[in-house]
């Protein structure tokens, strides 16, 4: 216990500071541990330190019964001795408890940041984007969108427990619950979308991972006589692309090649059922959450923008080449374990504005220092970066700081929507006006 406390205290207090990331053990060979680093948004270097999470237990307040998260038990500290493009090799004391599939806390000594003058710091924190933050609700919201469900524009949220809630805006930035629907047990909520696909009436599309059947499906909900009713179930992953009235629902076949999803097809309602059309877009083996489709380069050609595995945004040009952001944004708070793999659902990239001169809104999930949290994984909060495509590169023009972690975003006619999960587990819906 003493060694564990010292390790966590060191991560907070030593200068240079430590940056933490979460990786996985993929092979154990004596005192050598092979770590999958392919999804990290920073470089691993020789000399970096790591500890394997051997087990965890729930920590509760014995008087109040309040759940305080998980208490993690670690292996002895090891050191990275070899670095390859997609994996790293670490050496630690041989321990039979270390096994393939266990997660790892990886820390690296980072250069001390030079402190900016006070005036410069204040300028950097100021955003030109106006935002409205609604009063928190007692849910851990992993998805949010907007649609006319009750006769007016409603917020639709999806919680980590699979509850779909339709809200109306109240006075003084409050939200009033109008109706709700909860997924059955064993169905892990992934994403929520909403658009009027059938009869000019908004339907809600909730994608989930069926733990028993080990596949992804989407349930379709509709407001019928003041209650959300399930009207269809699709063997696809569904996600909305576009903003406000121009939103469309696209379907994606999961696990086409190993753990990779297939290309997307536009959803339509024909002959009394929801079904994919022949209109397709390439997803470049990405889930639809981290992808969008818009006329960015010119007003006459559609482009695809997506979050790459190294954390950068990539825009596919008309000639097939890719423009890339120089900054790192990717974060995947929403994960699903499928067989021996971890499926990562990156936050959506919103695209809006004049065709041929579009703007982007991308999420950066900020890594958490010190102990891992059961609620937030490796993230402590998020930012929304606004970007434009200029001189062959996606460049940041503004940044909006948030207080909590964002799993996904949506786009309305006037704003980018996010639901920030706060440290206490509650969530606030945030409108960031374009």
pLDDT average, residue stretch 185-192: 96
- Higher model confidence: residue 106 or residue 120? 106
pLDDT average, residue stretch 7-20: 38
Give the DSSP letter of residue 290: G
Confidence at residue 369, expressed as pLDDT on a 0 to 100 scale? 54
Query: What's the pLDDT band for 71 if we cut at 50, 70, 90?
Result: confident
DSSP bridge pairs for 382: 365
Among 15-19, 103-107, 301-305, which is the least confidently predicted range?
Answer: 15-19
Strand order in the sheet with 313-316: 291-298, 301-307, 313-316, 322-324
Determine contact, residues 382/369, Cβ cutoff 8 Å: no
Return d(Cα 182, Cα 312) in angstroms, integer. 35
Whether the pLDDT of residue 115 is over 90: the answer is: no
Return d(Cα 284, Cα 316) in angstroms, integer. 10
Return d(Cα 11, Cα 80) in angstroms, integer. 17
Neighbours of 27 (CB within 10 A): 12
The continuous run of DSSP H or E covering 2 comes out as helix 2-13
Residue 201 sits at φ, ψ, to 5 deg, of -120, 130
pLDDT average, residue stretch 329-343: 85
Confidence at residue 271, expressed as pLDDT on a 0 to 100 scale? 92
Helix, strand, coil content of the chain in percent (nearest 5)? 5, 55, 35
- Higher model confidence: residue 209 or residue 88? 209
Closest by CA position to 260, among listed 280, 288, 292? 288
Tokens of 32: 């050598």
Among 12-26, 82-96, 323-337, 417-431, which is the least confidently predicted range?
Answer: 12-26
DSSP string, 119-134: HHHHHHH--S--EEEP
Confidence at residue 22, expressed as pLDDT on a 0 to 100 scale? 59
In whole angstroms, how large is the CA radius of gyration of the chain?
22
Whether the pLDDT of residue 168 is over 90: the answer is: yes
- Note the pLDDT tens digit of each residue in 363-415: 998 876 544 443 445 688 899 999 999 888 899 999 999 999 999 999 999 99
Tokens of 147: 């649609």
Helix (H, G, I), strand (E, B) or coil at 346: coil
Return d(Cα 290, Cα 88) in angstroms, integer. 26
Closest by CA position to 155, among listed 397, 394, 430, 432? 430
Return d(Cα 180, Cα 137) in angstroms, integer. 14
Return d(Cα 305, Cα 350) in angstroms, integer. 9
């Amino acid at each position: 216990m003493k060694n564990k406390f010292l390790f966590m205290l060191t991560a907070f207090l030593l200068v240079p500071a430590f940056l933490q990331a979460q990786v996985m053990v993929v092979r154990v060979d004596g005192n050598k541990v092979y770590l999958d680093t392919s999804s990290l948004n920073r470089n691993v270097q020789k000399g970096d330190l790591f500890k394997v999470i051997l087990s965890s237990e729930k920590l509760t307040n014995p008087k109040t019964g309040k759940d305080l998260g998980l208490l993690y038990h670690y292996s002895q500290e090891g050191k990275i001795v070899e670095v390859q493009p997609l994996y790293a090799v670490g050496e630690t004391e041989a321990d039979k408890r270390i096994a393939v599939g266990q997660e790892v806390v990886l820390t690296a000594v980072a250069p001390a940041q030079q402190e900016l003058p006070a005036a410069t710091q204040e300028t950097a924190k100021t955003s030109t984007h106006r935002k409205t933050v609604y009063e928190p609700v007692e849910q851990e919201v992993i998805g949010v969108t907007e649609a006319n469900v009750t006769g007016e524009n409603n917020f639709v949220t999806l919680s980590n427990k699979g509850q779909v809630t339709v809200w109306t805006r109240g006075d003084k930035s409050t939200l009033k619950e109008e109706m709700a629907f909860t997924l059955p047990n064993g169905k892990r909520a992934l994403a929520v979308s909403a658009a009027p696909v059938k009869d000019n009436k908004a339907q809600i599309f909730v994608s989930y991972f069926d733990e028993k059947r080990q596949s992804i499906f989407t349930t379709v909900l509709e407001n019928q006589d003041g209650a959300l009713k399930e009207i269809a179930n699709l063997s696809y992953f569904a996600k909305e692309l576009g903003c406000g009235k121009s939103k469309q629902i696209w379907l994606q076949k999961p696990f086409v090649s190993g753990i990779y999803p297939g290309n997307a097809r536009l959803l339509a309602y024909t002959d009394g059922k929801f079904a994919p059309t022949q209109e397709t877009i390439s997803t470049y083996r990405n889930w639809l959450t981290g992808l969008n489709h818009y006329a960015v380069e010119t007003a006459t050609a559609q482009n695809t923008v997506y979050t790459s595995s190294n954390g950068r945004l990539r825009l596919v040009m008309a000639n097939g080449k890719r423009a890339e952001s120089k900054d790192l944004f990717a974060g995947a708070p929403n994960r699903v374990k499928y067989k021996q793999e971890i499926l990562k659902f990156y936050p959506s990239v919103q695209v809006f504005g004049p065709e041929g001169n579009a703007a982007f809104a991308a999420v950066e999930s900020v890594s958490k220092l010190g102990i891992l949290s059961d609620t937030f994984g490796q993230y402590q909060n998020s930012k929304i970066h606004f970007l434009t495509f200029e001189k062959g590169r996606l460049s940041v023009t503004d940044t909006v700081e948030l207080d909590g972690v964002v799993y996904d975003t949506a786009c309305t006619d006037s704003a980018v929507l996010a639901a920030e999960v706060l440290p206490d587990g509650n969530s606030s819906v945030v409108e960031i006006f374009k």
